[in-house]
Chains A and B, each alone.
Chain A
Amino acid sequence: MPEGRTEEVIDMADGYQGKILRVDLTNEKITTEPLNRDWAKQFIGGKGLGARYLFEELKPGIDPLSPDNILSVWTGPLVGTMTPLTGRYVIVTKSPLTGTFLDSYAGGFFGSELKYTGIDGLIIKGKAKKPSYLWINDGKTEIRDAKNLWGKDTYRTEELIRKESGEPKARVSCIGPAGEKLGLISSVTSDLTRNAARGGTGAVFGSKNLKAIAVRGTLGVAVKDSESFAEMAKEMIRKDVVENPDHAGMITDGTPILVDLSNDAGLLPTKHWRTGTFDGVKGINSDALKQRVLVRKKACFDCAIACGSYAKVNTGLFKGAATEGPEYETLGMCGSNCGIHNIEAVVKFVEDCDRLGLDSISSGNVVGMAMDLYEKGVLTKKDTGGLDLKFGNEEAYSKMPRMIANREGLGNILAEGAKRAAKKIGKGAEDSVMEVKGMEYPAYDPRGSFGMALAYATSDRGACHLRAWPIAADAYGSGDPFTPEGKAAICVEDQTRTSVKWSFIFCDFYSVNFANMAKYYSAATGIESSEEHLRKVGRRIWNLTRSFNVREGFARKDDSLPKRMEKEPLPEGKPKGKAVSRADFEKMLSEYYSLWGWDQDGKPTKKTLVDAGLGDITKKLPYLK
Chain B
Amino acid sequence: MTNGLKADKSKCTGCQLCGLICSVKHVGKFNPSQSRIDAMDVFPEPGEYSLNFCIQCDEHPCVEACPAEAIKLDEGLGIYVVDKDLCTACGSCVEACPHSGIWLDPTGSIAMKCDLCGGTPECVAVCPKGVLKR
Which residues of chain B are within 8 angstroms of A81 by Cβ–Cβ distance? Answer: 30
Decide if B118 is an interface residue (CB 8 Å cutoff): no
Q: Could you tell me if B48 and A192 are in contact, using CB atoms closer than 8 angstroms?
A: no
Stretch at the interface among B9-17, B65-73, B87-95: B9-17
B44 to chain A, nearest CB (A): 6
Also in contact, A295 and B47, with CB within 8 A (given A82-B24, A221-B31): yes
Q: Could you tell me if A234 and B125 are in contact, using CB atoms closer than 8 angstroms?
A: yes
Q: Could you tell me if B129 and A306 are in contact, using CB atoms closer than 8 angstroms?
A: yes
Interface string of A105-124 (1 = CB under 8 A from B): 00001000000100000000
Interface string of A199-226 (1 = CB under 8 A from B): 0000000000000000001111111001
Alpha-carbon distance A155/B125, docked complex (angstroms): 34
* Residue from the list A155, A221, A223, A237 in contact with B44, Cβ < 8 A: A155
Stretch at the interface among B33-41, B56-64, B75-83, B109-117: B33-41
Which residues of chain A are within 8 angstroms of B125 by Cβ–Cβ distance? Answer: 234
Q: Could you tell me if B40 and A169 are in contact, using CB atoms closer than 8 angstroms?
A: yes
Q: Could you tell me if A312 and B47 are in contact, using CB atoms closer than 8 angstroms?
A: yes
Interface string of B22-58 (1 = CB under 8 A from A): 0111011111011000001101100110000000000
Stretch at the interface among A180-188, A296-304, A337-345, A527-535: A296-304
* Residue from the list B17, B24, B48 in contact with A296, Cβ < 8 A: B48
Q: Could you tell me if B29 and A220 are in contact, using CB atoms closer than 8 angstroms?
A: yes
Which residues of chain B are within 8 angstroms of A464 by Cβ–Cβ distance? Answer: none
Also in contact, A310 and B25, with CB within 8 A (given A222-B30, A299-B15): no
Alpha-carbon distance A191/B47, docked complex (angstroms): 13
Find residues 94-128 in chain B having any chain A CB closer than 8 Å to their own CB: 106, 125-126, 128
Which residues of chain B are within 8 angstroms of A227 by Cβ–Cβ distance? Answer: 24-25, 28
Q: What is the chain A residue whose CB lies nearest that of B44?
A: A322
* Residue from the list B17, B28, B40, B43 in contact with A310, Cβ < 8 A: B43
Q: Could you tell me if A298 and B126 are in contact, using CB atoms closer than 8 angstroms?
A: no
Which residues of chain A are within 8 angstroms of B25 by Cβ–Cβ distance? Answer: 227, 230
Decide if A408 is an interface residue (CB 8 Å cutoff): no
Q: What is the chain A residue whose CB lies nearest that of B125?
A: A234
Alpha-carbon distance A80/B34, docked complex (angstroms): 13
Which residues of chain B are within 8 angstroms of A221 by Cβ–Cβ distance? Answer: 29-31
Q: Could you tell me if B28 and A302 are in contact, using CB atoms closer than 8 angstroms?
A: no
Q: Which residue, of A155, A237, A299, has the highest number of chain B Cβ atoms within 10 A?
A: A299
Q: Could you tell me if B20 and A191 are in contact, using CB atoms closer than 8 angstroms?
A: no
Interface string of A61-97 (1 = CB under 8 A from B): 0000000000000000000111000000000000000
Which residues of chain A are within 8 angstroms of B48 by Cβ–Cβ distance? Answer: 296
Decide if B21 is an interface residue (CB 8 Å cutoff): yes
Q: What is the chain B residue whose CB lies nearest that of A355?
A: B44
Q: What is the chain B residue whose CB lies nearest that of A308?
A: B13
Which residues of chain A are within 8 angstroms of B41 by Cβ–Cβ distance? Answer: 109, 191, 298
Alpha-carbon distance A527/B6, docked complex (angstroms): 40
Q: Which residue, of B15, B33, B125, B126, has the highest number of chain A Cβ atoms within 10 A?
A: B15
Decide if A480 is an interface residue (CB 8 Å cutoff): no
Alpha-carbon distance A81/B31, docked complex (angstroms): 8
Q: Could you tell me if A304 and B40 are in contact, using CB atoms closer than 8 angstroms?
A: no
Which residues of chain A are within 8 angstroms of B21 by Cβ–Cβ distance? Answer: 82, 230, 234
Find residues 533-561 in chain A having any chain B CB closer than 8 Å to their own CB: none
Alpha-carbon distance A238/B34, docked complex (angstroms): 24
Which residues of chain A are within 8 angstroms of B43 by Cβ–Cβ distance? Answer: 192-193, 310, 324
Q: Could you tell me if B17 and A302 are in contact, using CB atoms closer than 8 angstroms?
A: yes
Which residues of chain A are within 8 angstroms of B44 by Cβ–Cβ distance? Answer: 155, 192, 322
A9 to chain B, nearest CB (A): 11
B96 to chain A, nearest CB (A): 21
Q: Could you tell me if A220 and B14 are in contact, using CB atoms closer than 8 angstroms?
A: no
Q: Could you tell me if B13 and A299 are in contact, using CB atoms closer than 8 angstroms?
A: yes
Alpha-carbon distance A312/B48, docked complex (angstroms): 13
* Residue from the list B27, B30, B106, B129 in contact with A80, Cβ < 8 A: B30
Q: Could you tell me if B128 and A220 are in contact, using CB atoms closer than 8 angstroms?
A: no
Also in contact, A298 and B14, with CB within 8 A (given A220-B34, A226-B24, A322-B47): yes
Q: Could you tell me if B16 and A301 are in contact, using CB atoms closer than 8 angstroms?
A: yes
Q: Could you tell me if B27 and A220 are in contact, using CB atoms closer than 8 angstroms?
A: yes
Which residues of chain B are within 8 angstroms of A308 by Cβ–Cβ distance? Answer: 13
Also in contact, A302 and B24, with CB within 8 A (given A237-B128, A296-B47, A322-B47): no
Q: Could you tell me if A301 and B34 are in contact, using CB atoms closer than 8 angstroms?
A: no
Q: Which residue, of A229, A241, A242, A303, has the highest number of chain B Cβ atoms within 10 A?
A: A303
Q: Could you tell me if B33 and A218 are in contact, using CB atoms closer than 8 angstroms?
A: yes
Q: What is the chain B residue whose CB lies nearest that of A191?
A: B41
* Residue from the list B15, B24, B47, B106 in contact with A306, Cβ < 8 A: B15
* Residue from the list B20, B27, B28 in contact with A82, Cβ < 8 A: B20
Alpha-carbon distance A205/B28, docked complex (angstroms): 37
* Residue from the list A226, A302, A310 in contact with B47, Cβ < 8 A: A310
Interface string of A299-333 (1 = CB under 8 A from B): 11111101010101000000000101000000000
Decide if A11 is an interface residue (CB 8 Å cutoff): yes
Also in contact, A303 and B15, with CB within 8 A (given A220-B29, A227-B25): yes
Alpha-carbon distance A498/B40, docked complex (angstroms): 30
Which residues of chain B are within 8 angstroms of A306 by Cβ–Cβ distance? Answer: 13, 15, 128-129
Q: Could you tell me if A298 and B30 are in contact, using CB atoms closer than 8 angstroms?
A: no
Which residues of chain B are within 8 angstroms of A192 by Cβ–Cβ distance? Answer: 43-44
Alpha-carbon distance A234/B120, docked complex (angstroms): 15
Q: What is the chain B residue whose CB lies nearest that of A79?
A: B30
Alpha-carbon distance A241/B17, docked complex (angstroms): 13
* Residue from the list A219, A242, A302, A324 in contact with B20, Cβ < 8 A: A302
A185 to chain B, nearest CB (A): 23
Alpha-carbon distance A312/B44, docked complex (angstroms): 10
Which residues of chain B are within 8 angstroms of A242 by Cβ–Cβ distance? Answer: 128
Which residues of chain A are within 8 angstroms of B33 by Cβ–Cβ distance? Answer: 116, 217-218, 220
- Further pairs besides A301-B15, A304-B128: 5, Cβ < 8 Å: A192-B44, A218-B31, A297-B13, A298-B13, A324-B43
7 contacts between A and B (CB under 8 A): A192-B43, A218-B34, A221-B31, A234-B21, A234-B125, A241-B128, A306-B15
Instruction: State the 7 A-B residue pairs at the shortest beta-carbon distance, nearest first.
Output: A220-B31, A304-B128, A306-B13, A218-B106, A218-B33, A299-B15, A299-B13
